[in-house]
Amino acid sequence: MAKYTVEYDRPNCIGAGACTAASPKFWKMNYEKDNKADLIGGKQGKDGIETIEIDEKDFEEMKASAEICPVNVIHIKKKETGEKII
């Protein structure tokens, strides 16, 4: 089964919330902190980029979130090769 790495550029999120509508399994709005989306289960790096690993079964749902994002801050890569899908 294929694995993917999702990278979320949270500092550049504008808080539109489209990702949460497309995939509430992976996204929730953080109205208490800064009105931006949180990647559920994401690990934050020093640069503010959050990452999570997903399986092939979740790919289409996460892809919908990435495609609907108005500022293109959600990216999906193949874990094995690092090839950017979205």
| CA 49/CA 42 separation, integer angstroms | 9
SS3 83: coil
Fold of 3-78: Alpha-Beta Plaits (3.30.70)
How much is the pTM? 0.93
- 20-72 pLDDT, tens per residue? 999 999 999 999 999 999 999 999 998 999 999 999 999 999 999 999 999 99
| CA 69/CA 54 separation, integer angstroms | 18
Q: Indicate the domain borders of the chain.
A: 3-78
* 38, burial (CB in 10 Å: exposed 0-12, middle 13-18, buried 19+): buried
44 φ, ψ to 5°? -90, 130
